[in-house]
Amino acid sequence: MAEQVTKNPGLELGLKKTELSDNSGDNLDNELVELNLGELDLTSDEFILDEVDTHIQENLEDELVKEALKTGVDLRHYSRQVEKELQQVENASIQDYIKEAHNIASLHNQITACDSILERMEQMLSGFQTDLSSISSEIQSLQDQSLSMNIKLKNRQAVRGELSQFVDELVVPEVMVNAILDAPVTQRQFLEQLHELNHKINFVKEQSFKEAVACRDVQDILEKLKLKAITKIREFLLQKIYQFRKPMTNYQVPQNAMLKFRFFYEFLLANERHVAKECRDEYIDTMSKMYYSYFKGYTSRLMKLQYEEVADKDDLMGVEDTAKKGFFSKPSLKNRSTIFTLGNRGNIITSELEAPIIVPHAAQKSETRYSFESLFRSQHFALVDNACCEYLFSVEFFLVQGSPAQDLFNAVFGKTLSMFLKHMDVYTSDCFDAIAIYLCIHIIYRYQVLMHKRIVPALDKYWETLLEVLWPRFSYILDLNIQSIRDCDPQKLGSIDVRPHYITRRYAEFSSALISLNQTFPDERVDQLLAQLQAEVENFILRMAAEFPLRKEQLVFLINNYDMMLGVLMERTSEESKETESFQQLLQARTQEFVEEILAPHFGGMIAFVKETEGLLERGQTDQVKNQDARITKLVRGFAVNWKQAIDVINQEVMRSFTNFKNGTQILQVTLTQLIQYYHRFQKVLSQSPFKGLQVRGELINIHHVMVEVKKNKPTF
């Protein structure tokens, strides 16, 4: 209760006022109020009144005050009771303190002791703090010392590494000395130590430029080892080079052996150039002689395998058969190649291009003979294989590229290639086989591609020079053939008939051969020469046809020759060739003319009447077509009597005139078709108004009857 009263200042104020009123009477009431107001320390009356109201309101809301007011208790009495209770509590508290005085004194002593202990601890901690400060400075000093020592260690390690490497590079171990002096050059140990020696020599040279004094200590021994190594390497390489001089040597075997020791030449080139040059010159001299000797002997033996009978100046397209008896007339010659036909000769640039080379002694035993292009292919395929191996070896062993590699190759193969060119020049000067020359040209084209695939440009200049030899000769031979046809006199060729002439057959075979070859590597020069040849052949055919007295025979001769040439060309070349198109047009024109010519004896009157009357009717000149009753009657009745017999005669004549049965049947069909068209036009003309009154129109043969008869002559294939 005392605690509750104490917690309420408004109530406390009221109690004090009650207590004073009891002790001092009513006179003190005003003083207490004044004191209370003085304690409020207010300067404004209005503010004071507000505060008093607020306190009174708060006191009235207190639970104890509310309870006292409800019970009607006197506040003064209630205040005295509270005061009394407080006094009792205070007295009881004092007694408790008195009872606990010993404990309080003990507690005081303990607190005092703790204070002294804490004081000592504070002193100790202050000492620790001082010690830690000194330790921190010592640690910082140690860190600085450690960093400095670490830098010194790294510097010393770096110096040690560089110095150790420098010393290792300079030191000449005993293993190296023994290997260079005593080990054979073919042993792996010698090669490994030679690499190491070369490295040390280069290192000492580099350090000598930097004026390293230590290099002087090893220069003498390195020089002696270098001289010893050079001597042994020189002997070894020269010994390997001399192996090429043995007869029947496979050059690639010692070359492959030398490639295993290609570092030897690199060592010589780096340390003793004159010795390297000596080995290189010895190799060039040896291989140049070996290749020249081999290819000269091989070419000589190879040319003995050529056909005994070869084309000469009389073997031209326009030369008649009687000019050289037996050359063309013999049906078969075992050792002779064709001149104007390709046949199987084209295999030389396809399936046989990379076939094994011809072995002369084996061919002689079997008595096998070859055309010149076969010998040319074998000779140059051997050249390609050897040239590729030689070039790749030179590049790898002698460490050259580009122009120096080409110069080295030319030094080795120069004499051989010159011999080849001279041989080709001599042969082509007497060669009149244009197909052989042209096949050789295409062999060159394909070997050029082959060497480019192998990335070997060594023979590019040789191929160009060789083509410069072959192309003029090829053009010259074609010019001779063109001129021979131009100069050919039909009257000197003896008796002729309507069958294809042997000169046109030669042309067909020859031109189809060149066209088929030219399609793989087109060349305008060939097209121009063939165009000239074709023009001369066409003129020759016309001159030959002029020898026949009848136009029909002339047309039959022309059609047979055009058909034969067209058949050969279409069989062996593409249908899109210019020559094929040209002969197709000529054949169609001459066929149409022949149709008119063969129809004329039997149906000439009707054909002339149709053409004449159609022209007049188209121009509207109907008066001029009248009064022809007698003519029309004769034509209608003559056709009715003779048309079947005429068709049979035409059939026999056509099939007898043309050597190509298929062509003959086609021409027969064209002829009969043209007959039906003329007869249809004839009937159409007679159906016009000027002729409608003619009685003879009723005697016209039905066109379907004619068509049925024509179908009987249609081929069954």
| DSSP labels, 163-207 | HHHHHHHH---HHHHHHHHHS-TTSHHHHHHHHHHHHHHHHHHHH
For 455: left if phi > 0, alpha if psi spans -120 to 50, otherwise beta; the answer is left
Q: Are 42 and 48 in contact (CB under 8 A)?
A: yes
pLDDT number for residue 711: 85
The two tokens of residue 432 are: 């009149």
Cβ–Cβ under 8 Å, residues 363 and 305:
yes
Residue 583: count other Cβ atoms within 10 Å of its Cβ: 25
DSSP 324: S
Yes or no: say if 589 and 555 are a contact pair by the CB < 8 Å rule: no
Q: Which residue in 518, 380, 504 sits closest to 451, CA to CA? A: 380
Contacts of 50 by beta carbon, 8 Å cutoff, 6+ apart:
none
**Confidence (pLDDT) at 334:** 37
Task: Output the pLDDT for position 293.
Answer: 93
Alpha-carbon gap, residue 415 to 241, rounded angstroms: 19
Residue 356 phi/psi, 5° resolution?
-55, 150
Neighbours of 56 (CB within 10 A): 13
The predicted pLDDT at position 6 comes to 37
Residue 679, CA distances (Å) to 209, 633, 643 in order = 112, 15, 11
pLDDT at residue 716 in the model: 52
Burial class (CB in 10 A: 0-12, 13-18, 19+), 267: buried
pLDDT of residue 29: 44
SS3 370: strand
Say how far apart CA 635 and CA 437 lie, in whole Å: 63
Looking from the CA of 68 toward its CB, the CA atoms found within 13 Å total 21
**70: three-class secondary structure by DSSP:** helix
Tell the burial category of 632 from Cβ atoms under 10 Å away from its Cβ (0-12, 13-18, 19+): buried
pLDDT of residue 79: 79
**DSSP letter (8 states) at residue 43:** S
Q: In the structure encoding, which two tokens stand for residue 313, read together?
A: 């100046």
**Within 13 Å, how many C-alpha atoms sit on residue 141's CB side?**
6
* Residue 61 phi, psi (nearest 5): -80, -10
Which residues does residue 370 pair with via DSSP β-bridges, in sequence order? 306
Place of tokens 């070896």: 393
* 3-class SS of residue 306: strand
Residue 449 structure tokens: 């591609």
Query: For residue 290, what are its two tokens?
Result: 């070996």
Whole-Å CA distances, 150 to 145, 147, 157, 160, 680 = 9, 5, 10, 15, 122
Identity of the amino acid at 369: R
- Give per-10-residue mean pLDDT for the chain (717 aa): 39 38 42 41 53 66 70 74 85 85 88 91 88 85 89 82 70 87 91 90 78 74 91 93 81 88 92 93 94 94 88 84 48 52 90 93 90 94 95 94 94 96 93 93 96 94 96 95 91 83 91 90 92 94 92 93 91 79 92 93 91 86 77 88 90 88 90 92 84 77 88 67
- Structure-derived torsion over alpha carbons of residues 696, 699, 702, 707, reported in degrees to the nearest 10: -100
- What's the one-letter identity of residue 333? L
The CA dihedral of 654, 655, 660, 662, to the nearest 10 degrees, is: 100
**Using CA atoms, how far apart are residues 517 and 442, in angstroms rounded to an integer?**
8
Instruction: Return the pLDDT at 228.
Output: 93
pLDDT at 25: 41
Confidence (pLDDT) at 434: 93
- Write down the pLDDT at residue 575: 61
Q: What is the pLDDT at residue 466?
A: 96
CB 598 within 8 A of CB 368: no
d(C-alpha 152, C-alpha 147), whole Å: 9
| Distance from C-alpha of 422 to C-alpha of 466, rounded to nearest angstrom | 10
Residue 556's φ and ψ, nearest 5 degrees, are: -60, -45
